[in-house]
């Protein structure tokens, strides 16, 4: 969405004015985009990529120059376990989260290569108790999409608490660690 980048830039400017600096950016917006990726209108892909990929891009672009100038900062971007593996029925989500892993890794390597004081991490949780499914339709036309919708809703409801994920993120930022893997099964 073409209005998102100016809004994120305005948020960064506001934070800078209010707090005098930006030390941590947490790119965490995301939608599941449940539907039939191969039959539904291609707008499904655009909507998921706009939020899940370009939201991260806009966040990095808004704060990286500020952090570089102030000589300190850390950028954390939320991908997903789905950014490390495939999954049936949610191809746009999987592709978007693979993109977040890749662009985060590129950012991390560039910052390391330049000897930057700014760090980067990627968060790859499995199911977490969030409102990820809050904007998804409850009933879908496609049997695959309906099955995935119900599976994801059940997974999110049974996921780990967001506070547990937050503790992993804080520990990783303090340690300057790139990978933030919240579940033992992902670490394996």
Q: Are 177 and 121 in contact (CB under 8 A)?
A: yes
The yes-or-no answer on residue 58 being catalytic is: no
Residue pair 69/171 in contact (Cβ under 8 Å)? The answer is no
Handedness of CA 163, 165, 72, 49 (dihedral sign): negative
Q: Strand pairing partners for 27?
A: 77
Burial per residue of 44-82, b for 16 or more beta-carbon CB atoms within 10 angstroms, e otherwise: bbebbbbbbbbbbbbbbebbbebbeeeeebbbbbbbbbb
Q: Of 93, 103, 181, 183, which is the active-site residue?
A: 93
| Catalytic (active-site) positions | 93
């Amino acid at each position: 969405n073409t209005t998102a980048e100016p809004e994120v830039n305005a948020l960064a400017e506001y934070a800078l004015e209010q707090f005098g600096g930006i030390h941590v950016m947490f790119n965490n917006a995301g939608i599941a985009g449940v539907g039939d990726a191969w039959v539904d209108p291609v707008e499904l892909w655009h909507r998921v990529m706009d939020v899940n990929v370009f939201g991260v891009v806009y966040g990095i672009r808004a704060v990286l120059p500020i952090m570089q100038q102030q000589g300190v900062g850390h950028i954390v971007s939320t991908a997903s376990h789905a950014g490390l593996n495939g999954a049936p029925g949610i191809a746009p989500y999987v592709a978007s989260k693979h993109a977040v892993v890749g662009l985060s890794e590129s950012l991390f390597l560039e910052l390391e290569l330049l000897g930057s004081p700014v760090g980067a991490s990627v968060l790859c949780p499995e199911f977490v108790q969030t409102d990820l499914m809050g904007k998804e339709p409850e009933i879908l036309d496609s049997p695959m999409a309906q099955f995935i919708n119900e599976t994801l809703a059940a997974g999110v409801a049974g996921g780990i608490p967001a506070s547990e994920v937050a503790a992993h993120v804080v520990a990783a930022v303090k340690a300057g660690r790139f990978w933030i893997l919240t579940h033992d099964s992902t670490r394996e």
